[in-house]
Structure 1
């Protein structure tokens, strides 16, 4: 994967150098800009191949089982790349290796894009397996003991979620007035049970259960490992972490991008997701009823209100 990533960076650098060389010509800059814009629109209008990147597991399955067939009926060729980490997908999107990615919640997206100065925007929400606490050496929450170990995702955003869950369970107490989306170990006011929080790469958390008493695991990795969401001892109650699909910002209003958004909000995909993924948290605009059914298609949850 590192080889591919380096290749993308080199390609981007070569393109940048080419553009810089063209920029040395001072004649008719406005005309050149207009020509460039017209060319981009023309290419976009003819775009028929959509490259989707997801983390391995349910998001990839959604593409293969439902989204790809929906888009192919419209004449698109859809290719899927599955990643095994939370860093590469956004960099791949920014560098053009994929056209859209699906794997992250909004707090993580905002933090990553700001830190890496990427020109990306969210476009639609997707059904999301919730974060949960799963048994390791200890099999029930009531078995918690002094000095117990808890494995948690090591990326800042998901680690903050884990701390909030431990706070809700009363295993730790967070300081008053902190931003729960940015909670860190320094924000722990009390650790009366002397919980040992072990930070682990998210994809490795299911295996880490063998070495700790409990593990806080992202839903997609629960399913990838063959575990069940119903095996969780406690699930995150918040809906703030329903995941989003993201685009490069200049592509958001393109026809192909809007077709992707429509596919993820189509009645066909809703029916598939509600049957295949019970227990998930669903996009806000789906307006899922108590009986598990969804109302007619609604526009994607407002990317404008959630964009960076």
Structure 2
């Protein structure tokens, strides 16, 4: 299956996929429905007319409540975005979750102003199935799926009969198959749905006769020594202390880069514009580039130095074929 065919199909396939088959590219993987509110920094804006005028913040919305999953998305707020918005005059509260359901429900219910934790396929399906009027606004740096060394340390060390481990859940296994197709390790059938690809969609595995070892995603880092190469989710790699820049290859698609979401009614509000600018400022880009090397950066950053991620010397580029994210 050609790369251009996969790119085209990824760009149109998302709307038809159910929530159960979509796995977030996030940092926290607990399913416990809990949320933690972090205290607002003392001395931040109170929303008075004087403060509003002096700092040019949204006079109708001086406090911004941001919801994320715990981990890198929360750290982005704590370490950079919160201070940036507070310096502008806003009051900022961070609420962290340990599941992937409540952040959207809390947003729709008005308990949050904005959430940051999910990729667009998940958001599109979740809001459709739950009849929520939510919309994505901007992308944020996200840990991507990658090929990591096992017994072999270089992509060039591929050989016939090699073993490759991959996550066994349907969504991430499909992504792993697409990556192996992009590397030329296998050939997928024409006209398949790349979001739901399975072993039955492999047209040809004769080039390397790969033994694909399916494991639970959390086990992949620990089992690297038992296979030649390991395809690992970015969040599990970082949780295991593996640097993303150690990846031999990263998925080139921007389809799984995570987005912020707000209620559609807030789309043209000034505070939304201010939050968007905070996440796309030169200061934030530098922070993200310095703090999260190897991450997949927002597509609109392409061309900025911060958007260029490279793998270790002599390995495949992490920025291969680009897939356009479906239109808002």
Same fold (TM over 0.5): yes
CA contact (8 A) 1:153 1:217 kept: no
Counterpart secondary structure, 1:121: strand
Q: Which residue number in structure 1 is paired with residue 268 of structure 2?
A: 253
Q: Which residue number in structure 2 is paired with residue 167 of structure 1?
A: 181
Deviation at 1:249, TM superposition (A): 2.2
CA contact (8 A) 1:51 1:81 kept: yes
Counterparts of 2:220 and 2:63 in 1: how far apart (Å)? 35
Pairing partner for 1:239 from 246, 254, 259 = 254
CA contact (8 A) 1:167 1:173 kept: yes
Task: Establish whether residue 306 from structure 1 lines up as the match of residue 327 from structure 2.
Answer: yes
Task: Establish whether residue 77 from structure 1 lines up as the match of residue 91 from structure 2.
Answer: yes
State the structure with more CA Rg.
1
Q: Which residue number in structure 1 is paired with residue 71 of structure 2?
A: 57
Task: Establish whether residue 198 from structure 1 lines up as the match of residue 219 from structure 2.
Answer: no
**Residues 49 and 140 from structure 1, CA distance in 2 versus in 1: closer, same or farther, beyond 3 angstroms?**
same
Counterparts of 2:64 and 2:223 in 1: how far apart (Å)? 36
- Structure 2 gap ranges (5+): 1-30, 36-57, 309-324
CA contact (8 A) 1:54 1:60 kept: yes
**Residues 96 and 292 from structure 1, CA distance in 2 versus in 1: closer, same or farther, beyond 3 angstroms?**
closer
**Residues 204 and 248 from structure 1, CA distance in 2 versus in 1: closer, same or farther, beyond 3 angstroms?**
farther
Q: Which residue number in structure 2 is paired with residue 107 of structure 1?
A: 121
Deviation at 1:245, TM superposition (A): 1.1
Counterparts of 1:93 and 1:155 in 2: how far apart (Å)? 28
Counterpart secondary structure, 2:116: strand
Deviation at 1:227, TM superposition (A): 1.3
Pairing partner for 2:299 from 258, 275, 284 = 284
The TM-score with structure 1 as length reference comes to 0.68
- Structure 1 gap ranges (5+): 6-43, 295-303
How many residue pairs match? The answer is 257
Counterparts of 2:34 and 2:154 in 1: how far apart (Å)? 43
Counterparts of 1:287 and 1:139 in 2: how far apart (Å)? 29
Cα deviation digits, residues 240-293 of structure 1 (max 9, x gap): 43321111222322333222112112232223223333443332333434x558
The TM-score with structure 2 as length reference comes to 0.64
Task: Establish whether residue 183 from structure 1 lines up as the match of residue 197 from structure 2.
Answer: yes
Deviation at 1:163, TM superposition (A): 1.6
5 Å-filtered alignment, 1:91-106, equals 91-106=105-120
Cα deviation digits, residues 97-135 of structure 1 (max 9, x gap): 433222333333333433444322100122233321123
Pairing partner for 1:270 from 257, 261, 285 = 285
Counterparts of 1:205 and 1:90 in 2: how far apart (Å)? 29
TM-align CA RMSD? 3.5
Counterpart secondary structure, 1:180: coil
Task: Establish whether residue 217 from structure 1 lines up as the match of residue 239 from structure 2.
Answer: no
**Residues 132 and 92 from structure 1, CA distance in 2 versus in 1: closer, same or farther, beyond 3 angstroms?**
farther
5 Å-filtered alignment, 1:132-143, equals 132-136=146-150, 139-141=153-155, 142=157
Larger mean Cα displacement after TM superposition, 181-190 or 121-130: 181-190
Deviation at 1:56, TM superposition (A): 3.3
**Residues 228 and 293 from structure 1, CA distance in 2 versus in 1: closer, same or farther, beyond 3 angstroms?**
closer
CA contact (8 A) 2:170 2:196 kept: no
**Residues 306 and 224 from structure 1, CA distance in 2 versus in 1: closer, same or farther, beyond 3 angstroms?**
farther
Counterparts of 2:125 and 2:230 in 1: how far apart (Å)? 24
